Structure 1
Amino acid sequence: MNIDERRPLQRLLAFDTSTSSLAVAVMENGILLAERNIHAERNHSAYLVTAIDEALSAAGITKRELDAIAVGVGPGSYTGIRIAVTTAKTMAWALKLPVFGVSSLEALGLGGWAQGTGQDALKLSQSIDQQEQEDTLENEAVSPDEYWIVPLVDARRGQVYTSCFTASQDRMLKRTKQDGIRLMDNWSHELAGKLSKLDPQNRPSAIWFVGETLPVHEAAANEALLPFGVALYFAQYELEGVWVGLAGTRRVLTGTNDEIHTLEPNYTQLAEAEVQAKAKLKEQAEAEATASTELNLTDASSHRNG
């Protein structure tokens, strides 16, 4: 069953600010009407609303003519994710629209793989159905014409925001690993461990690393994975609105919307400032508990002596 045989999606606004790219798209039944992509070095708060207005204007529709909003919830830039999610929740509440959170890594993986292999967005949209939404987290085996898609967003200190999907020609991605933050060295060896458990005929024909693929990431992946004889590709890619729109289209057609007030960014870790703040509060609580214990012991001792 393709997208045109389901209930009409009509018009979807999709956007993401989790990376250095600000990506906005207006979709209609899985087809791109307009998009705006800006490399803003994560200064997205200054450009997002304008980019949304420009995309809607280019599509020839107004906010009141939208039927749903999809927003990338990360993981990625802590501040960037908050900007997009807050904007999406505000618009959804004001316009009384359903809102759908989508994985920024899924959109990044989809776009990077499509760019690297020449996939067509329209054909991919036509493959959206219930089966495509199902994850395959317990089954790593693939057919010889399938690939592993590994999106990467640099998280500093040797870490990456990442996940893993399988992909095949003209089909949407299927998730095999949850989004998270991982040390690239450990992640590469984890992928190698998965390969080692598969018979050669059940291994992917290639592994695509897409997104912020830095030389240090390539070195770690090559060291761990090249011995298995699987082709490795590294594609620098900046997120584009159409792929956020397609990920959002799938969420709309095959899932339920998120509650506006409970939709939250997927940070996967606390921001460094929040970590430090929580650590300080913990230290204060422990110090207060220790002081209270010492006071009680002193009081008890005084009572006995008295």
Structure 2
Amino acid sequence: MKNQMEEPRKRFLALDTSTAVLGVAITENGKLLHETNASGERNHSVHLLPIIEQALQATGTTSAMIGGVSVGLGPGSYTGTRIAVTAAKTLAWAWKVPVAGISSLQALAWGGLAAALGQSEGAEGNPMSGTGPDWIIPLLDARRGQAYTALFVADGDRAPRRLEPDAIRLMADWVQHLADRLKEAAAEGMKPRVIWFVGETQLHGSEETTFLLRELGRVQAVPYELEGRWAGYLGEERLQAGSDDLHSLIPNYTQLSEAEANLRRSSEGSLNQ
């Protein structure tokens, strides 16, 4: 009989600390075995490893059963994202398993869409009565009128398919770009039946901010906090297709942090003197 060390490594660990929610999930064959979503962005560094240990114990998972570690690369909180990436790389090195980075915004889009569809079921004036593909626009506040965002299209029960890259964008410019793209889609007979804004929508998904799109199509804003399971599903899919280099894997910041930008400006000023 094969011992435990010889059994196929079928389980996957996923981590994401790019937002105010610390998400940890363990999946196997596309099914969720365990999930923890803990709020408290400033305490991610304190709680991440104990929560991982709790997840392993709750599912009876040993390191010998883990086939890979995936991690949300952001964009989002600079400090938060680094915490999960460092932990994922350390565990992958210690367990001698592959590691893969996934887009936190894609996980947010997938989970937000699932939450939105759940809320819309049975509702009067169900927004799903139209035809065409749904668009999903995840939002994380980046201050100063900006958001970390991207554009995805619903792809059945599978992960949303990307139409625009993850980036930090001025919302006024982003909405105008989306409005232009929406007009093009309508002209091609591909107008989405619903445009979902998900995530931190209170500010950036308001009627005032998105009025250009609301004049052209059906827009729904759904507040949503990232859940570990969606990072887990994306991570398992990613790891089964391939992995990233352990040493070169870094967060997707999309821009320099304010401290890094100030340091660069200071360095450039010194060189020019």
TM normalised by structure 1 equals: 0.80
Match of 2:3 in 1: none
Is residue 2:221 matched to residue 1:234?
A: yes
Which secondary structure state, in structure 1, belongs to the residue aligned with residue 33 of structure 2?
strand
Contact kept, 8 Å, 1:148 with 1:207, in 2: the verdict is yes
- Shift of residue 221, structure 1, vs aligned partner: 4.1
Q: CA deviation at 1:11?
A: 0.4
Question: Which whole-Å CA distance do the structure 2 matches of 1:192 and 1:262 have between them?
Answer: 37
Question: CA shift at 1:217, angstroms?
Answer: 3.6
* Higher strand residue share: 2
Question: 2:98, 2:239 within 8 Å by CA — same for their partners in 1?
Answer: no
Shift of 1:227: 1.5
Note if 1:197 corresponds to 2:170. Answer: no
TM-score normalised to structure 2 length: 0.89
**What's the % identity of the aligned pairs?**
47
Q: CA deviation at 1:55?
A: 1.0
Letter in 1 for 2:249: L
Secondary structure of the structure 2 residue equivalent to 1:205? coil
Q: Which residue among 187, 190, 211 is the counterpart of 2:199?
A: 211
Q: Is residue 2:109 matched to residue 1:109?
A: yes
Q: What are the residue-to-residue correspondences of 1:107-146 with 2, within 5 Å? A: 107-118=107-118, 144-146=131-133
- Equivalence for 2:76: 76
Q: How far apart are the structure 1 equivalents of 2:37 and 2:263?
A: 35
1:248 shift after superposition: 0.6
Q: Deviations over 1:169-211 (max 9, x none)?
A: 4232100011000011111111001011123531000000101
Q: What residue in structure 2 maps to residue 260 of structure 1?
A: 246
Aligned to 2:146: 159
Note if contact 1:9-1:253 (Cα within 8 Å) is conserved in structure 2. no
- 8 Å contact 2:23–2:38 — kept in the other structure? yes
Q: Secondary structure at the match of 1:235?
A: strand
Task: Identify unmatched segments of 5+ residues in structure 2.
Answer: 1-7, 120-129
Matched, 1:182 2:191: no
Shift of 1:57: 1.1
Change (3 A) 1:84 1:208: same
Between structure 1 and structure 2, the one with the greater Rg is: 1
How many pairs are equivalent? 255
d(CA) in 2 for partners of 1:42 and 1:219? 31
Distance 1:205 1:42 in 2: 39
Q: Tell me how far 1:40 sits from its aligned partner.
A: 1.2
Query: Is residue 184–residue 217 contact of structure 1 (8 Å, CA) maintained in 2?
Result: no
Please give the root-mean-square deviation of Cα atoms over the aligned residues, in Å: 1.7
Structure 2 counterpart of 1:268, one-letter code? T
Distance (whole Å) between structure 1 residues aligned to residue 153 and residue 269 of structure 2: 44
